[in-house]
Amino acid sequence: MTDAHAGIASHGQGPFIAAIDQGTTSSRCIIFDRDGRIVSVDQKEHEQIFPKPGWVEHNAVEIWTNVQEVVAGAVSKAGITRDDIKAIGITNQRETTLLWDKNTGEPVHNAIVWQDTRTDTLCKELGRNVGQDRFRRETGLPLASYFAGPKARWLLDNVEGLRERAEAGDILFGTMDSWVIWNLTGGVDGGRHVTDVTNASRTMLMNLHSMEWDDKICESIGVPKQMLPEIRSSAEVYGEITGGKLGDLLGGIPVASALGDQQAALFGQTCFSEGEAKSTYGTGTFMLMNTGEKVINSYSGLLTTVGYRIGDQKPVYALEGSIAVTGSLVQWMRDQMGLISTAAEIETLALSVEDNGGAYFVPAFSGLFAPYWRSDARGVIAGLTRYVTKAHLARAVLEATAWQTREITDAMTKDSGVELSALKVDGGMTSNNLLMQTLSDFLDAPVVRPMVAETTCLGAAYAAGLAVGFWTSTDDLRANWRRAAEWTPNMAADKRDREYKSWLKAVERTMGWLEDES
């Protein structure tokens, strides 16, 4: 990573900020300089454990070992020492849930990963006669298997003797931020048991308005409050690196931020004003819009979540919409259909024709997500004629990602009353120029790509740097943001409207395919 940095502006001089990204498939550590540029990176993958269909687990001990290794690795690659690093921040895969023994530091079970669907039935039961929106007003979330609270309840119900140990106060609950911070700050020897507002907002146990654990909901879901971490802001000093191998190497460095990965990307993209939004295009897509100090209830199927909170400032909220299938549709064209040999070739194929030839592809492979939430829907390719070629389908594949983004954006505007001024994008698919142009055309708004692709780690570094005064304000951070490319809309309004209408018709045709679900 560092070769190409041997350019002009030297960043050999410190001080620096380190950021840990404890992600779904790997743990990484990146060291950043004051301009927000990457100095070094280290990364290690961990095992994905699939005990049963639909179940996904991680070994939390392996993760902690990897985190220590990548931090040491990144520091050594940068050729710097403890004194050069002003703070360390954390961003993490959201909702993944762990319970551990506070006396031994041993996890009582593997961590249950966010994608794990074992709590499906439990969530339906918890909905009782109200349904999945039972706790939405307080938590901003529907009862779905992703969120951490019901996962903790499952562990308490299914691990022998665990509930008694929890009620005796021996068990600690945490998402991965809490696990990493507790271990970094000493573990069994006085480790800090904390989480930040963004991670807490994904447990379904926190009240969005008070930013505290909600007694009633904790009781309803069946999670004893004494095992929950203290809820802190996203940018403050939680403690210092203490003990263990890292203690010898980096002891005393403040642990100064925690943000869920998508919120960290929002922060790294410097979306600090109301109405600013970022969208991360990977296998799936996550879009977050800053809604300022307002908690906006969504009537369009979006999630209401905490964007971030800096120290004792007021919390900043966000609306979140996710698209299940974006990059994975391109992979599907490559692996299942064999129409392309690399993901990037989708653009070449799509560019060989002028338009979609009348074809629309709605990839509702496992139902429709935001804003429809229809699990009875399945994928559809609509508008086929003998004229349609694989190149038209390639267009339709890229347009599917753009239209789905448009639908989320429309839902956000409807809920918040705020028009999207520009969309900041990151993630692997941003290298697809045709997709980015199509996105801008369909949204009728500029689409902007920043120069640092690692917005998630950068967000954690920014929050940690703010906490220790390395950067003085969010204005400092904005000044670091650099535009690498910008796509501006270039499509006639009547054509956009006509195409959108056709897309919506295709979406309608996906619904009701499965008959035994509503």
Of the two residues 35 and 133, which places its CB atom closer to other proteins in the complex? Answer: 35
Please select the residue that binds other proteins; options are 345, 410, 444, 476, rule is CB under 8 A: 345
> How does DSSP assign 382-402, residue by residue?
ES--TT--HHHHHHHHHHHHH
Site for other proteins in 115-174 (CB under 8 A): none
Stretch of residues binding other proteins (CB under 8 A), selected from 7-15, 309-317, 366-374, 402-410: 7-15
Of the two residues 77 and 509, which places its CB atom closer to other proteins in the complex? Answer: 77
With binding defined as CB under 8 A, does residue 9 bind other proteins?
yes
Please select the residue that binds other proteins; options are 34, 37, 334, 390, rule is CB under 8 A: 37
With binding defined as CB under 8 A, does residue 433 bind other proteins?
yes
Q: If DSSP codes are grouped into helix, strand and coil, which group holds residue 153?
A: helix
What's the closest the beta carbon of residue 250 comes to other proteins, in angstroms?
Answer: 27
With binding defined as CB under 8 A, does residue 352 bind other proteins?
no
Please select the residue that binds other proteins; options are 100, 308, 361, 487, rule is CB under 8 A: 487
Q: Which amino acid is at 497?
A: D
With binding defined as CB under 8 A, does residue 486 bind other proteins?
yes
Stretch of residues binding other proteins (CB under 8 A), selected from 88-96, 232-240, 340-348, 463-471: 340-348
Distance CA 312, CA 221 (A): 29
Distance CA 111, CA 144 (A): 18
Residue span 391-430 as binding mask against other proteins, x where in contact by CB under 8 A, dash where not: -------------------------------------x-x
Distance CA 329, CA 505 (A): 20
Of the two residues 259 and 436, which places its CB atom closer to other proteins in the complex? Answer: 436
With binding defined as CB under 8 A, does residue 33 bind other proteins?
no
Stretch of residues binding other proteins (CB under 8 A), selected from 58-66, 135-143, 251-259, 477-485: 477-485
The residues, ordered by sequence, that sit 6+ positions from 170 with a Cβ below 8 Å of its Cβ are: 101, 102, 103
Of the two residues 72 and 344, which places its CB atom closer to other proteins in the complex? Answer: 344
- 354 by Cβ neighbours in 10 Å (0-12 / 13-18 / 19+) ranks as exposed
Inter-residue contact 392 to 345 (CB < 8 Å): no
Q: If DSSP codes are grouped into helix, strand and coil, which group holds residue 236?
A: strand
> How does DSSP assign 486-506, residue by residue?
EE---S-HHHHHHHHHHHHHH
With binding defined as CB under 8 A, does residue 493 bind other proteins?
no
Torsion angle defined by CA atoms of residues 133, 136, 142 and 147, in that order, rounded to the nearest 10 degrees: -140
With binding defined as CB under 8 A, does residue 334 bind other proteins?
no
Please select the residue that binds other proteins; options are 13, 129, 342, 518, rule is CB under 8 A: 342
Of the two residues 37 and 109, which places its CB atom closer to other proteins in the complex? Answer: 37
Residues that bind other proteins (CB under 8 A): 1, 3-9, 37, 342-348, 428, 430-433, 451-453, 482-487
